[in-house]
Amino acid sequence: MDLRLLLPRLMPRAIAWAEALAAEVASEGHALDASGLSDAMAVGVRKAEDIRVLMVDRLPLPPDYELREAALHAGLLGPTMTGLTLGHSILICHGHLCRRLLSHECRHVFQYEQAGSIAAFLPRYLQSIVEVGYWHSPFEQDARNHELA
């Protein structure tokens, strides 16, 4: 699967899926508690009060077959992933909520805020994953560098 060739065609579907899922989390998720708000602000989030966290059994996969396969192939989603951030919406798998993971995901919220929207951030994020891989993505490195113990 050559994600470099597929990405331009998949991007509109990826953005639509991400925006729909973010809206679902925004309506069903919970606001951060006082320590979560403090940590979110410590990693740069401007609108920490807008963050919503939804605990899930596993991270959802896109229903679109091609998009789902691309996400799995790139290592963005799958059984080893425990957190996902889309705008101000964060999904965390049950049993994995901790300060380190939440601060990592909050740093992704900061990145979305810097870009201005899911539609503005996601293409840059996904392009970096395709070019250098998940672990070496500058967005993932930045989030790891801002994890709080």
pTM, two decimals, is 0.96
Half-sphere exposure of 53 (CA within 13 A, CB side): 22
- Alpha-carbon distance of 31 to 45, in angstroms, equals 14
The pLDDT of residue 46:
98
The answer to whether the Cα torsion of 139, 52, 15, 81 is positive or negative is: positive
DSSP assignment letter at 98? -
- Give the C-alpha separation, 13 to 67, whole Å: 7
Q: What is the pLDDT of residues 15-50, one digit of tens each?
A: 999 999 999 999 999 999 999 999 999 999 999 999
What is residue 75's predicted lDDT score, i.e. its pLDDT?
Answer: 87
Number of CB atoms found within 10 A of residue 143's CB:
22
Domain ranges of the chain: 3-143
pLDDT value at position 113? Answer: 98
The low-confidence residues of the chain, meaning pLDDT below 70, are: none
Which tokens is 57 given?
A: 């059994």
Q: Which pLDDT does position 142 carry in this prediction?
A: 98
Q: What per-residue confidence (pLDDT) applies to 1?
A: 80
